[in-house]
Amino acid sequence: MKRGLRKSTAELLHRLRRRGPVFTFKEALEASGYDRGYLKLVLHMLERGGWIERIERGKYVILPLEAERGRYTLHEFVIGSALVKPSAIAYWSALHYHGLTEQIPNVVFVQTTSRKKRRELTVFGTRYRIVRVVTRKFFGLEPLWVEGLKVHVTDREKTIIDCLDKPQYCGGVIEVYKALREGNLDAEKLSEYLKKFGSGAVAKRLAYLAELAGLDMEVPSCLIKKGVVALDPTMPKKGRVDRGLKLLINVELG
Residue range 70-117, pLDDT digits in tens: 566 689 999 999 999 999 999 999 999 999 999 999 999 999 999 988
Question: pLDDT grade, residue 68 (50/70/90)?
Answer: low
Choice between 5 and 72, residue whose per-residue pLDDT is larger: 5
Burial of 109 (0-12, 13-18, 19+ CB in 10 A): buried
Quick one: 124 and 220 in the same domain? yes
Q: pLDDT of 123-136, one tens digit each?
A: 888 999 999 999 99
Q: pLDDT of 22-50, one tens digit each?
A: 999 999 999 999 999 999 999 999 999 88
Quick one: 204 and 82 in the same domain? yes
223 in Cβ contact with 232 (< 8 Å): no
Choice between 126 and 254, residue whose per-residue pLDDT is larger: 126
* Residue 69 domain-assigned (yes or no): no
Quick one: 96 and 200 in the same domain? yes
C-alpha distances out from residue 123 to 75, 118, 120, 253, Å: 11, 13, 10, 36
State how many domains the chain has: 2
Quick one: 200 and 102 in the same domain? yes
Quick one: 222 and 244 in the same domain? yes
Conformation bin of residue 188: beta by default, left when phi > 0, alpha when psi is -120 to 50: alpha
Q: What is the DSSP letter of 108?
A: E
Nearest to 159 by CA among 146, 171, 148: 171
Statement: residue 66 has pLDDT above 90:
no
* Residue 166 domain-assigned (yes or no): yes
C-alpha distances out from residue 124 to 56, 66, 108, 172, Å: 11, 17, 12, 27
Statement: residue 17 has pLDDT above 50:
yes
C-alpha distances out from residue 27 to 9, 39, 88, 201, Å: 15, 11, 21, 41
Residue 44 sits in a domain whose CATH number is 1.10.10.10
Query: Mean pLDDT score of the chain, rounded to an integer?
Result: 92
Domain range for residue 21?
A: 7-62
Quick one: 81 and 201 in the same domain? yes
d(CA 8, CA 177): 57
Portion of the chain with pLDDT greater than 70, in percent: 95
* Residue 102 domain-assigned (yes or no): yes
For residue 63, what pLDDT is reported?
A: 85
* Residue 70 domain-assigned (yes or no): no
> What is the secondary structure of 35-62 as a DSSP string?
-HHHHHHHHHHHHHTTSEEEEETTEEEE
Quick one: 54 and 163 in the same domain? no
* Residue 109 domain-assigned (yes or no): yes
Quick one: 128 and 157 in the same domain? yes
* Residue 1 domain-assigned (yes or no): no
* Residue 67 domain-assigned (yes or no): no
Quick one: 54 and 150 in the same domain? no
Quick one: 51 and 87 in the same domain? no
* Residue 227 domain-assigned (yes or no): yes
Quick one: 188 and 245 in the same domain? yes
Quick one: 51 and 142 in the same domain? no
228 in Cβ contact with 246 (< 8 Å): yes
